[in-house]
Structure formats: structure tokens, C-alpha cells
Amino acid sequence: MLSRQVLNRVAISRLSSVKVDMMPHGVASLAFNAPPVNTLNKQLLSDIKTSVDQVVADGASAIVFSSAKPGVFSSGLDIFSMYGKTDDELREFWQHVQDMWLSVYMCPIPTIAAINGASPAGGCQIAMSCDYRIMAKHPKIVIGLNETALGIVAPTWFVDTMINTIGQRETEWALQLGHLYSGEHALKIGLVDELVEPDDMMERVIENLKLWLKVPPKARAITKQLLRQETANKLIRNKEQDIETFVKLVSQPSVQKDLGRYIEMMKAKSKK
Amino acid sequence: MLSRQVLNRVAISRLSSVKVDMMPHGVASLAFNAPPVNTLNKQLLSDIKTSVDQVVADGASAIVFSSAKPGVFSSGLDIFSMYGKTDDELREFWQHVQDMWLSVYMCPIPTIAAINGASPAGGCQIAMSCDYRIMAKHPKIVIGLNETALGIVAPTWFVDTMINTIGQRETEWALQLGHLYSGEHALKIGLVDELVEPDDMMERVIENLKLWLKVPPKARAITKQLLRQETANKLIRNKEQDIETFVKLVSQPSVQKDLGRYIEMMKAKSKK
Amino acid sequence: MLSRQVLNRVAISRLSSVKVDMMPHGVASLAFNAPPVNTLNKQLLSDIKTSVDQVVADGASAIVFSSAKPGVFSSGLDIFSMYGKTDDELREFWQHVQDMWLSVYMCPIPTIAAINGASPAGGCQIAMSCDYRIMAKHPKIVIGLNETALGIVAPTWFVDTMINTIGQRETEWALQLGHLYSGEHALKIGLVDELVEPDDMMERVIENLKLWLKVPPKARAITKQLLRQETANKLIRNKEQDIETFVKLVSQPSVQKDLGRYIEMMKAKSKK
């Protein structure tokens, strides 16, 4: 059993974009490691899903998500994967987004987001899908679903996850304005559970893990499933339709034009 | 295009009970103007719906609702339209209530309630159906669904709107007691988003509009629809049934007696 | 009518485990009286349901639930009724749990929980099913659904009731950790509505009853039904299935072993 675990861990460590480390008490640390900003492209999406599924299969007791490069937790879904692509390429990309989310959201073991960097859009969605969120206090570390501000629309299951986290009224405001919350504001509305000095992050994660690890794991896992299965099912029953909605929306000339403009803007910015 | 807009605006200005003014950046101001207390009778309900639909069709960028006579935002649904009426008159009245609400709640452009007066029952329902609520601070300016206190029952879609705004638990307490919240209390529980000195209302509305107007309008409108269509559909799929439920409830002798007593009480009060 | 009420009251007072007293203005006090800790066994479950149904039938204006022995409100469902039982015994027990809950949750008159003692698991469920919760301030008086911590799983309708009370996000945290909240924490998240000194409990209950008793009772009752019927229906439509789920879960050897260990631990504790 141990040797199989070691074998798997070696396999996992070959995943270029997620750094997997085992902490004491069987806790798996999954650090996003796709410089410069952990953009959720096909590779990172697939590596997150694979590493979550693998450490669960190996009997890990909990997962801590973080960024291997503090500063950006994840910049969200990869715009390049949506720009100038064929419908089939868009379909494949979106299926990776769906599958990554279902693995994280329905993960049977406790998941803690150590949000040690900015967490917009897809980054926020991963954090909201964890069981607990600890955010590092820094003016540049903000969190939110800001899709609308970029001219695109968050998918229904991002919306459902946010409603489950902060309620309908705050979600309506946040999503319509595409708002990125400061740490203080995120704490106040319950988008994160704790706000800590960056240097205290690891200590707080460990303190918190103690609470989660002392609960009987089977009863906790069934309870989590009871609480989340209905939201997950809304996507599971509707995966094909959700993919076609995405393809139809993103392949619109007006959206492609907006994305193109955004890419140009980012390129210009990075040249400075 | 401009000339058609001007034409429409002239048409709108003939609506006796809603004062429509265009503010900078294409924002439409819709001021309820049915003295003394903006009671939601067939005329005002119809004028609200017509003016909302019209300014949206004319390309307005946002809507600000207020009362043309500060002191009462709206006193709610007209009791006289429910007392001593035939079933068909009741049916027609209720359809106007439904249609007004659907226009306001599903309005594709941002809607801000500048609550510059008391906002009980139907007045609260209009405010809750906006995207943002700013309330003037004054001991007489209260807000809530107080139907129960009058011996009547808020319709299911008023209930749904309140649950979406302040959550199930607070709604159960508020609706069962028919509670009218002070500004401070309304702010605390999230029934309003801001509480301002009456003199600062316009300044705060303008500050707030800046946030809404800088968001790409198409993505924001689709996002709003995603967030609200399900709640709206619960009424849309059920309009006929909802009308018959209303007629059956209101035409009960005991309810008619309560309404009659309430009308006598109001008449006695107004003679003092 | 009075004589029938007196007759019923005599009948009720024979119920060994719920002490029924009539307070002024037709308020019924129902005090759990099953020493030492008001464990919800078949007898207490049945007596709660019977006394609620009876005082409602007798025209009581409101119900106040409390413990006849301050210190423990109710210790929750009886573990002994789940240990070493036949499937049919388990079925009968669970039906009593369901029926007690439906009577309390859908009770047409106002219900106030005077939480004058610790309120874990089933005790918390009764409190959450009332219309208002006042909790006595004491380090030992805690409240929460702590089933998970004992290795068992709260049923779906306990989960639904908690989500309705404190929202999805807080419920996910509370249920997964099986957390028992202090009074201060319970107040902060809205699990209770008031936290009072034990000596002030009766005064606060009476003050609060004044609010509930001045609302027209028929409109209030219809409104409460509107707000709760959907949640109740999820169980009503599913009672048989819910019973089989319970029997299947509890009769698992691993769960029986956990319960046996728990019972041994309690016995050892009580011998000290």
C-alpha cells in the first residue's frame, strides 16, 4: 500500500503545474505552480483534477490549496483558450473546467483554500468550492467573480456556488458589478472565513486542520455530500447543454472582439 | 432615433402618476407622483410598467425610482381596489400588480431605489426588486412587508423576493409579524444597502450610478437575468393560478370585513 | 367548550414527559420533563407531538417550549433507541421523530424556544423549528447539530432547517464539524435570536409574546404555512424513503459499533 502511494506520488510530482507535498497527518498540500499567474488552462485544470483525485485515492486526510508563487492564487480561466478557437477546442476546454470543478467541489475529504494571492474569477470559484477559506491580508490580494467586468458571463454553477457562499442579494450585487473584494470586505460578507497576516498563513492553516481532522471522516464525508450533491447535480445533469451554451456564447463575434481587445491590452501592459 | 426618443418622452410625460426625467448619461428618473401617498392603484401600477418598458426601449442606461413627494415612497397596494369589487375587477387589478412587478424585477438595465419616504408593503416590494437600495434616514421612513399586520397575506412572489434579499429566517420573522423596519434596522439586516441623510440622497445616487454605468451592459444584463429568471418564472408559469388565489382570498367575507374596518379607520384618521 | 378544554388539559397533564401549563392570554407552556436530560425517546417524542396538537386544538394562542429542569433543554435523539434494535423498532422510532418534527415545524400558532439548557442535535432541531429562539447565557448552554462529531449523519430535513436558519455556508461548516455553538457565537450567526441572563428568561419571553399575540392570527398562520410548507413537503412526500434510509444507515455494523462504544463511554462517565 505504501509503495503504491510512493509510486503515485512520484507520478503526481511529474505534473508540471501542481506541486504536491505530503504534510503531517496525511494532509496533502496542492500548490498551483503555473507561472506567472496560475492561469487555468487545459494543463493546470487537468493537473488540479488529477492531483485531487489521486491524493483522495491514496487516502489523504485533507487538502490545502495554495499558490506556489504567493502573490497570485490563480488569475482564473485562460482567455487564450477561449480566443480564436474551433468549437471543438472550446468544448474540450470547457469540459476540463467542469471536471476540475466537480472534483474540487465534491471532494470527499476536507479542503482548505490558503488564498496567498489574488483570486479573481476561476481562482475565486476554486476558493469558494473549498470547505474553508483563509486569505492573506495584502492590498493586492483581492477576490471575486469579475467576469462581467470583462464583458463575459459567469456560468450558472459559478453563480450557484457564490449564492451558497454569500447569499442571493450580495451575489446579485457582486456579479452584476464584477466586483473584486478586498480582504476586509470579503471577510465581512463571508466570502472568506479568516483574514491573516501573510506570515501567519501556515500556522492558521495548521490550527484549522486540527478541527477538521478530529471529526469522524465517514460521517463528515456523507454530510458534505448531502449538502453539496444537489448543486453539483445541476451541472452533472446538464454538462452537454452547459458546454453548448458556453461555445455559443464565447464564439459570438462581439465576445471574440472583446476578448481580442483584452488580450491586446494585456500584451501592451506586459511590454511596459 | 433622437426624435423618436423625444416623441416617446412626450408620451411618457402625459402619464399622470409617474414623472419621468432624463438625467445625464442616459439615466432615467422615475418619480412616483400620485398624491397624497403613491398608492398602487391600477393607474399608478400601469404607469410604472409603461414608463419602465418605455425608457428601456429608448435605450436608457439605468433607472432611479423615487417619490415625487418625499415623505412616502409608496404606501403599497390600493386597499380600495380590493374592497367591494367584482371578481373580474379583482382579476384585472391583480394582473396589473403582477405585470408591474415583472417589469421592474426583470428590468434589463440597473435599477436603483432612492427610498425618500415610507415604504410599506407594495412600496417595499418595488424597492426590493431594484438592484440597489438607498434609504433616507428619518424616524418616519420605515420599510417592510406589513401585510400580515393588516390581516392580509403577502403573495408568494413578495415572499420569494424578500427571502432573496434578507434570507429565510429574517423573512419568517418579518412577514409573520408584519414588521416595518427603521432605517438603521433595515441597513443592519440588508433590507437596504445604504442609509443616508435626506439631503445627501441625490449625491449618493449619482456616486452609485458611476459603478453601475461602467460595467459592460450586455454581460451585466445576461448576468442579472441568470440570477432572477427562476424567481420570475415561478410567477410567470403560474399567473392565472396566482390571480385566482388572490380573488378567492380577498373576496372572503371575513377579509372584506377587515378591509372595510381598515378603510373606516383611515377615513376617521384623515378627518382629524 | 371550557369543560372540554379542562378535560383535555387533564388528559395532557397525564403525559409524563411534557409538563403543560397555561399562561395568561392563552399561551401554552410546554416544559420537557424527562429527567435527567430530556432525551428524545419514543415517549418524549410522542408526548411533544400530542401536547402540541392538543393545545392547538384547544385554541392556545402560542407555545413556549422549555426544559422543566434548566441545564439541559434536550440532549437530542435517544441513542439507546438506535442501538441493538430490530429494523421494525428502528422504523417505529424514526416515524416518531418525523411526526414530532412536523407538528412543531408546521405548528399554526407562534412557537418560542426558551432555551434554558444545552441544546445539541435533536434539541437544536426543535429550537430551530420554532418561530423565535431566546437562549440563556451560560458556559454550559451550547447549541448545534453535532451528529457528525458522534459519527452519525443528520437527516436531510435537519439540514434543510439549519440552512433556512443560518444559510448554506455556515451550515456546511457547522454540520461537517458537528460544532456546538456558545451562546455568543449562536447569536452572532443568527442560530438564536436573543441571548439573556438566565434570570431574565421569563421576562423576555413575555415581552416577546406581546409582539406575536398582537398580529391577526389567521393571516399570520397562512403566512407561516406559505414560508414553511415547501420544506415540510420534502419530508412528507418522502417519509417512507426517509425511514428506510435511516434504518439502512443505523443498522450498519460500523455505526452500531460506534454507538455501542459511545454508550459504554457514557455509562463509564455516569459512574464517576
Note whether A146 and A121 are within 8 A (CB): yes
- CB-based contact, C225 to chain B, within 8 Å: no
CA distance linking residue C168 with residue C187, whole number of Å: 17
CA distance linking residue B85 with residue B151, whole number of Å: 18
- pLDDT band (50, 70, 90) for residue A12: low
Q: How far is C149 from chain A (nearest CA, A)?
A: 6
- Per residue in C183-221, pLDDT (tens digit) is 999 999 999 999 999 999 999 999 999 999 999 999 999
- CB-based contact, C222 to chain B, within 8 Å: yes
- CB-based contact, B200 to chain C, within 8 Å: no
- Per residue in A202-253, pLDDT (tens digit) is 999 999 999 999 999 999 999 999 999 999 999 999 999 999 999 998 999 9
* DSSP structure class, residue B140: T
- CB-based contact, C227 to chain B, within 8 Å: yes
- Maximum Cα–Cα distance for chain A, whole Å? 54
Q: How far is B160 from chain C (nearest CA, A)?
A: 9
Note whether A132 and A193 are within 8 A (CB): yes
* DSSP structure class, residue A193: S
* Chain A neighbors of C149, CB-CB under 8 A: 215-216
* Dihedral over Cα of C138, C183, C227, C97: its sign: negative
pLDDT higher than 70, residue A3: no
Task: Determine which one of B44, B45, B77, B209 is catalytic.
Answer: B77
**pLDDT of C116:** 98
Q: Chain A to chain B, count of Cβ pairs less than 8 Å apart?
A: 61
CA distance linking residue C138 with residue B20, whole number of Å: 58
Q: How does the average pLDDT of chain A come out, rounded?
A: 93
Write out the H or E segment, with its range, that includes residue B22: strand B18-22
Cβ of A216 and C150 within 8 Å? yes
Q: Where are the alpha helices (DSSP H) in chain A?
A: 2-13, 42-57, 87-105, 122-128, 156-166, 168-177, 183-189, 201-213, 217-236, 239-250, 253-271
Q: Which residue of C has its CA nearest to A129?
A: C169
Write out the H or E segment, with its range, that includes residue B57: helix B42-57
- CB-based contact, A198 to chain B, within 8 Å: no
CA distance linking residue A23 with residue A62, whole number of Å: 10
Residues 63-92 on C with a CB inside 8 Å of A are: none
Question: Which three three-digit cell numbers place residue C249?
Answer: 444507515
Cβ of A148 and B190 within 8 Å? no
Question: Which three three-digit cell numbers place residue B150?
Answer: 393588516
Return left, alpha or beta for B59; rule: phi > 0 is left, psi -120 to 50 is alpha, else beta.
left
Residues 110-149 on A with a CB inside 8 Å of B are: 147-149
**pLDDT of B198:** 97
**pLDDT of B262:** 85
* Chain A neighbors of B166, CB-CB under 8 A: 169
* Dihedral over Cα of C38, C43, C48, C54: its sign: negative
**pLDDT of A8:** 55
Q: How far is B85 from chain A (nearest CA, A)?
A: 37
Q: What is the mean pLDDT of residues A132-154?
A: 95
Closest C-alpha to C94, from C81, C80, C76: C81
Which of C165, C193, C223 is nearest residue B176 as measured by Cβ atoms? C223
* Chain A neighbors of C173, CB-CB under 8 A: 131-132, 193
Q: Which residue of C has its CA nearest to B152?
A: C219
pLDDT higher than 60, residue B1: no
* DSSP structure class, residue A181: B
**pLDDT of C12:** 54
3-state SS of chain C is: CHHHHHHHHHHHHCCCCEEEEECHHHEEEEEECCCCCCEECHHHHHHHHHHHHHHHHCCCCEEEEEECCCEECCCEECHHHHCCCCHHHHHHHHHHHHHHHHHHHCCCCCEEEEECEEEECHHHHHHHCCCEEEEECCCCCCEECCHHHHCCCCCHHHHHHHHHHHCHHHHHHHHHHCCCECHHHHHHHCCCCEEECHHHHHHHHHHHHHHHHCCCHHHHHHHHHHHHHHHHHHHHCCHHHHHHHHHHHHCCHHHHHHHHHHHHHHHHHHHC
CA dihedral B166, B169, B171, B174 (to 10 degrees): -120
**pLDDT of B218:** 92
Please list the active-site residues of C: 77, 122, 146-147
Beta bridge partners of A112: A64, A132
Q: How far is C233 from chain B (nearest CA, A)?
A: 16
**pLDDT of B13:** 54
Closest C-alpha to A114, from A76, A145, A70, A146: A70
Closest C-alpha to A261, from A149, A150, A146: A150
CA distance linking residue B196 with residue B137, whole number of Å: 6
Cβ of B164 and A169 within 8 Å? yes
- CB-based contact, B164 to chain C, within 8 Å: no
Question: Which three three-digit cell numbers place residue B241?
Answer: 393560478
Residue ranges for chain C with pLDDT beneath 70: 1-15, 272
pLDDT higher than 70, residue A14: no
* Chain C neighbors of B173, CB-CB under 8 A: 131-132, 193
3-state SS of B163-221 is: HHHHCHHHHHHHHHHCCCECHHHHHHHCCCCEEECHHHHHHHHHHHHHHHHCCCHHHHH
- Per residue in B149-159, pLDDT (tens digit) is 988 899 999 99
Block residue for cell numbers 405548528: C107
- Per residue in A73-129, pLDDT (tens digit) is 999 999 999 999 999 999 999 999 999 999 999 999 999 999 999 999 999 999 999
- Maximum Cα–Cα distance for chain B, whole Å? 54
Q: How far is B127 from chain A (nearest CA, A)?
A: 13
The residue with greater pLDDT, A12 or C37, is: C37
Which of C148, C167, C254 is nearest residue A215 as measured by Cβ atoms? C148
Q: Which strand ranges, in their side-by-side order, compose the sheet holding A194-196?
A: A18-22, A27-32, A62-67, A111-115, A132-136, A194-196
pLDDT higher than 60, residue B9: no
Distances (CA, A) of A270 to A36, A119, C146: 11, 19, 52
**pLDDT of A266:** 83
Q: How far is B211 from chain C (nearest CA, A)?
A: 28
Q: What is the mean pLDDT of residues A65-78?
A: 96
**pLDDT of B5:** 53
* Chain C neighbors of A222, CB-CB under 8 A: 153
Q: Chain B to chain C, count of Cβ pairs less than 8 Å apart?
A: 61
Q: Which residue of B has its CA nearest to A170?
A: B165
Please report all neighbours of A, defined by 3+ CB atom pairs within 8 A: B, C
* Chain A neighbors of B165, CB-CB under 8 A: 168-169
**pLDDT of C270:** 73
pLDDT higher than 70, residue B10: no
Q: Which residue of A has its CA nearest to C145?
A: A223
- Per residue in A158-183, pLDDT (tens digit) is 999 999 999 999 999 999 999 999 99
Residue type, B35: P
- Per residue in B46-66, pLDDT (tens digit) is 999 999 999 999 999 999 999
For the whole model, what pTM was predicted? 0.94
For residue C258, count other CB atoms closer than 10 A to its CB.
18
Which of C166, C218, C224 is nearest residue B176 as measured by Cβ atoms? C224
Which of B147, B159, B177 is nearest residue C227 as measured by Cβ atoms? B159
**pLDDT of A10:** 47
CA distance linking residue A238 with residue A156, whole number of Å: 11
Question: Which three three-digit cell numbers place residue B47?
Answer: 404607469
Which of A106, A161, A170, A218 to probe the C interface (max C CBs under 10 A)? A218
CA distance linking residue B178 with residue C54, whole number of Å: 27
- pLDDT band (50, 70, 90) for residue B270: confident
Q: How far is A222 from chain B (nearest CA, A)?
A: 25
Note whether A24 and A60 are within 8 A (CB): no
Q: Which ipTM did the prediction report?
A: 0.93
Q: Which residue of A has its CA nearest to B211?
A: A177
CA distance linking residue B170 with residue B165, whole number of Å: 10
* Chain B neighbors of C132, CB-CB under 8 A: 173
State phi, psi for B255 to the nearest 5 degrees: -70, -40
**pLDDT of A7:** 45
